Structure 1
Amino acid sequence: MAIVILCRRNCGLSKCITRHLISMAAADLMALIFEVILYEIKYASLPYSLFNYTSVCSVNLALLFFSIDCSVWFTVAFTFDCWTAAISCQSLRTKYCTEKMAQMVITIVCFLSVLENIPIYFVYEPREILDGQPWSCYVKSSFHTAPMWIAFLRLETIVCPFAPFVLIILHTSLTIRHIVRAKRVRSALRGTNKPTCHTVPEIDNRRKSIILLLAISGNFILLWMVLLICYLFVHFTGTQFLEANYNAPFTIAEQSGYMLRCLSARTNTFIYSVSQGKFREGLNNMVKRPLSIFISLK
């Protein structure tokens, strides 16, 4: 529903920001399908289904990490777009803040995420053999000892979440800093510190974009914080990820971090609905229209 509403372009946002939000909603939907439905729920509901073959499970896990990387880096691209739109450099804003450039950035992020997550398919081995068939997925023991896999894990942790975390904080801080400075300059030029009631569409659209930026950035930082601390703990102490002992404090923290990471992709839609009045209006129309049609048929 969020994708449909955003595609209608009636939310009062610029074309490039709308394009970024559509890509983020699509990536969040993919993460919901591959992580929650095809990975978590299938173990409880369909333990011996087609999706539990080792090859299918490995593909699903590769697509799961692909969707998470896309969701994270689309968020980075969105924060950079908001920062570019807020700064006074007209040439950079004109060059970058376009729908064509947004589409190019989205395509590049998808392509690089595919290349990055191809090795994920080869990380797993069968957990058990039933009737000659490999079932379920289990991390290879060599993943924690082989230099190639150790290097891959370090690269993965840099690409997601370290670099996105730093970039999102940087872009958000720079955007807020510029907005505060610009507001002070405008107040000084007007010769008063009192707010004005007059607004123009460009300023109103920018205000909506800034509200979205703060909400989405804050959501990402808070919900990824636990997993980021776990990554730091692993690198500085030598603790291994994905331990089987679910009573260990680190494993509890790690699994909590995965749960919060999963929640991070699900809350963006609620952020749209809370912060954007026109999005709520479009959502109400989508809900009411089928009901009105059903009532008229009766």
Structure 2
Amino acid sequence: MSMADLLVIITDVLLRTVFVMYFPRSFLNITPVCPTIFVLAFAATLISVWFTVAFTFDRFLAICYQNVKAKYCTERTATVIMGIVCVFSCLISVPWYFTMDPEYNMHNTLWGCVWNQAFLNLTSWASFELLMLSVIAWFPFFLLLLLNALTARHILMSGRVRRGLRGRKPGDNDPEMENRRKSVVLLFCISGSFVLLWSTRVIYVFTERVFGTPYVKGSEFESVGFMLQVLSTCTNTAIYVLTQNKFREQMKSAVRYPIYLIVKLVKNRNAS
């Protein structure tokens, strides 16, 4: 998931936005390259979203169906699923290349890319965009909400059984139950952050396509939606990974290691 999120930052933020804005005469603005970057950015976003769904489903199986954990929650299965998600995301993103036309011609070279009239006016292209929005936002959100709700329900029910077996009252202090309550909060934070950060972008595209609002690039509403959408590719990784003790320990080791090398180098120089 971290690599997918990094690809989103590289393609969607750096190549498609920053470099195009601040280096307008670079080769990235040539017409064949410009829509290609858009395709790569959409594919990277799609991969990031569905990696999160796949990871959530993996945790759902591991927590709620521990009898199949050893069979399906394996490195081999994860590799196959990631490969399928990557190939599918790249293939489904290809049609976006044909939604753009050159913006202008300078010295017999086509520069820039703008939405072509067919994409703006034809019902088939509008249906395609809404379908892509469903694949990248609505359907993943439904799955995340469903899987997290089922996982939270399983944790709460197992907690009640645990209290009954241990003879504890609901108000008693139980470290295991405290960890499970934190897991429930974590699961709902994931679903909540996804829908909140994607809602602006979803509303923008939906109102433009369904209610016929003029499709204008560069509006403030679209800019805010784009910013929140890009941010959403980072939040789930942070929520999932940064809360893990092993990851935090490795992060501390990675920070301390360069300091250790510098101190060792200084000591060796002083000794010599």
> Is the pair's TM-score, using the shorter chain for normalization, greater than 0.5?
yes
Question: Where does the alignment leave 5 or more consecutive residues of structure 2 unmatched?
Answer: 267-272
Which fold has the larger relative contact order, with Cα–Cα distance below 8 Å and residues 6 or more apart in sequence? 1
Task: Give the counterpart of 2:229 among 261, 272, 280.
Answer: 261
Q: State the match for 1:110 in structure 2.
A: 86
Letter in 1 for 2:133: T
Q: State the match for 1:278 in structure 2.
A: 246
Q: State the match for 1:187 in structure 2.
A: 163
Task: Give the counterpart of 1:127 among 103, 107, 114.
Answer: 103
Letter in 2 for 1:78: F
Alignment of 1:1-298 (within 5 A): 24-88=1-65, 90-91=67-68, 93-193=69-169, 194-197=172-175, 213-241=187-215, 243-244=216-217, 246=218, 251-271=219-239, 274-298=242-266
Report if the CA contact (8 A) 2:34-2:112 is conserved. Answer: yes
TM-score by length of 1: 0.79
Larger radius of gyration: 2
Letter in 2 for 1:295: V
Shift of 1:268: 4.1
Counterpart of 2:213 in 1: which secondary structure?
A: coil
TM-score by length of 2: 0.86
For residues 85-140 of structure 1, the C-alpha deviation after alignment (integer angstroms, 9 at most, x for no partner) is 2214624x343322221111111111111110011111111111111111111111
CA distance in 1, matches of 2:94, 2:104: 23
Shift of 1:198: 6.9
Shift of 1:83: 1.5
Question: Where does the alignment leave 5 or more consecutive residues of structure 1 unmatched?
Answer: 1-23
Shift of 1:177: 1.1
Question: What value does the CA root-mean-square deviation take over the aligned residues?
Answer: 2.5
For residues 28-49 of structure 1, the C-alpha deviation after alignment (integer angstroms, 9 at most, x for no partner) is 0100000111111113321100
Shift of 1:297: 2.0
Q: 1:207 to 1:184 in 2, by over 3 A?
A: closer
Letter in 2 for 1:189: L
Shift of 1:274: 4.3
Report if the CA contact (8 A) 2:39-2:93 is conserved. Answer: yes
Work out the percentage of aligned pairs sharing the same amino acid: 38
CA distance in 1, matches of 2:129, 2:206: 13
Aligned residues: 264
CA distance in 1, matches of 2:185, 2:103: 46
